[in-house]
Amino acid sequence: MNNYLITIIGPTAIGKTALSIKLSQHFNCEIISCDSRQFFKEMKIGTAVPNEEELATAKHHFIQNKSIFEHYTVGDFEVEALQKLDELFKTNNVQIIVGGSGLYVDAVLKGFDEFPDIDASVRDEINSKYDELGIEYLQSALKDLDLEYYQKLETENPQTLVNPQRMKRFVEVCLGTQKPYSSFIGKRKNERNFVPIIIGLQADREIMYDRINQRVDIMMKEELLEEVKALYPYKNLNALQTVGYREIFDYLDEKTTLDFAVEQIKMNTRRFAKRQITWFKRTENTNWFDYKTDTNDIIHLINSKIHNS
């Protein structure tokens, strides 16, 4: 096996995009984005999509390639990303993935268990009940249908219990198959035709928070408000249940002031960054670097991994 996948992870606003472009130039390869919010072409400013110059400097994939109106799952992404990597490895045995969505990074590196197809009517019923009853409905349903998995999440990954999209999926599988979600886990062995070389970027918390605050201010100057206004009629779509959009929807609903909404975006992004760090710190074999590390030092580490494998 002589394919190598440089995998760049870390919290939001830490500099992953800039590093990925430098590495793509050095290794003459392309970049697959694993940012689950940057897939959607209607969401450009609030997801910090690479700018035109960055996109022109290196070939990117899975950036604004879907619509918020499409049903797109992490399983769909796994299939499409692996197909793209197989294509890219034919011309260069070093490629790059980058992103802050840990679940989507894991999809590429490790894959997931296989689940049966679920009838769309089950999903519609769950969405309807969620709209009426909120996250408590999903939590109660999962506890009833798969107590083992609920308790596992409660212990190991409690933030998932308040993630509507993932909770809907767990309940959907339970109701659609009449079996516990946990009964499908660990049944499938996923083979990969590459060796991952994982690079993690980190910074002191205060530095990271300052970078996040600056990014949000830049987004507002780039007219994030106008972007969210245009999406307001579709505010209940899953893709839009995310930081930077929810808070401004509240402002447009006259629940808050704009200044308060912006402060909420900063606060919720900081919380999101903390969850990203918790997730990525569990990623095995990660080579952690300070966000200001000279790129040549990172290239040296990557080359040593390639030559010694």
Buried b (16+ CB within 10 A) or exposed e, 90-116: eeebbbbbbbbbbbbbbbbbebbeebe
Establish whether 16 is an annotated binding residue: yes
Establish whether 15 is an annotated binding residue: yes
Establish whether 12 is an annotated binding residue: yes
Establish whether 134 is an annotated binding residue: no
Handedness of CA 182, 37, 7, 89 (dihedral sign): positive
Establish whether 14 is an annotated binding residue: yes
Dist. CA 172–CA 6, nearest whole Å: 34
Dist. CA 41–CA 169, nearest whole Å: 24
Establish whether 10 is an annotated binding residue: yes
Establish whether 48 is an annotated binding residue: no
Handedness of CA 284, 285, 290, 293 (dihedral sign): negative
Residue 186 tokens, joined: 């660990």
Closest CA to 295 of 52, 96, 105: 96
Q: Which residue has the tokens 């990969």?
A: 192
The answer for residues whose C-beta is within 8 angstroms of residue 107's C-beta and 6 or more apart is 34, 74, 75, 77, 78, 81
Phi, psi of 6 (to 5 degrees): -70, 120
Establish whether 286 is an annotated binding residue: no
Annotated binding site: 10-17
Annotated binding site for ATP: 10-17
Annotated binding site for substrate: 12-17
